[in-house]
A and B are shown apart, each in its own frame.
Chain A
Amino acid sequence: EVQLVESGGGLVEPGGSLRLSCVVSGFTFSSYSMNWVRQAPGKGLEWVSSISYRRTGSYINYADSVKGRFIISRDNAQKSLHLQMNSLRVEDTAVYYCVRGAGEATGDYWGQGTLVTVSS
């Protein structure tokens, strides 16, 4: 059974940092690109970042809204995906989902989400 389990969310003050993690099981993690998608309270879904599966180097992309502040990374040995979030803003408040895939697999599995609240 495919599982994606996020952790690391919480309350942080504006300007602060937080590191999200997603540990997966049930599939060959190193063979899949991975994504972070977020949803602000009462709002729609927003793609945040993607990282490819490639062995030699990783192809990484970010939404303009987080570029320069967030860093996505992965550890294939630990089957984990991470999102380092720096210089957090109130508008980064959202549930953050770990999402599998690219190409035909895009969005086929989602984690349960972790809530990040940025507030003073």
Chain B
Amino acid sequence: DIQMTQSPSAMSASVGDRVTITCRASQGISHYLAWIQQKPGKVPKRLIYTASGLQSGVPSRFSGSGSGTEFTLTIGSLQPDDFATYYCLQHNSYPYTFGQGTKVEIK
């Protein structure tokens, strides 16, 4: 199975900060990676598809990059609505696997 390791597991940041979350795959997954945002008590929401595609309706401050084994989600300027938990998801091969999540909290 492919293991997905996210870093950091949690972080504190201020409104306006640039935030970077990293996801590392235990083996190459090409560009088959999505980034998912989940707010407390809410349904998960996809932000990024195939590593760098911006989901329709998602603000342009979100961006994704990477291929192979190293991937990054960047929030260009953190907004109050962005405080949430973020997950990466590899869908290159079964079983699909999620990272453990990165909780972004207010500093």
Contacts and interface: CB of A to CB of B under 8 A. Distances in A.
Nearest to B94: A61
A94 B101 CA distance: 17
Contacts of B96: 35, 47, 50, 106
B104 interface: no
Interface in B81-107: 87, 89, 91, 94-101
Interface in B43-97: 43-46, 49-50, 53, 55, 87, 89, 91, 94-97
A108 B54 CA distance: 11
Nearest to B50: A104
Interface of B: 1, 32, 34, 36, 38, 43-46, 49-50, 53, 55, 87, 89, 91, 94-101
Interface of A: 35, 37, 44-47, 50, 61-64, 97, 102-108, 110-113
Minimum-distance CB pairs A-B, first 8 = A47-B96, A61-B94, A106-B91, A45-B98, A107-B46, A44-B101, A107-B34, A110-B43
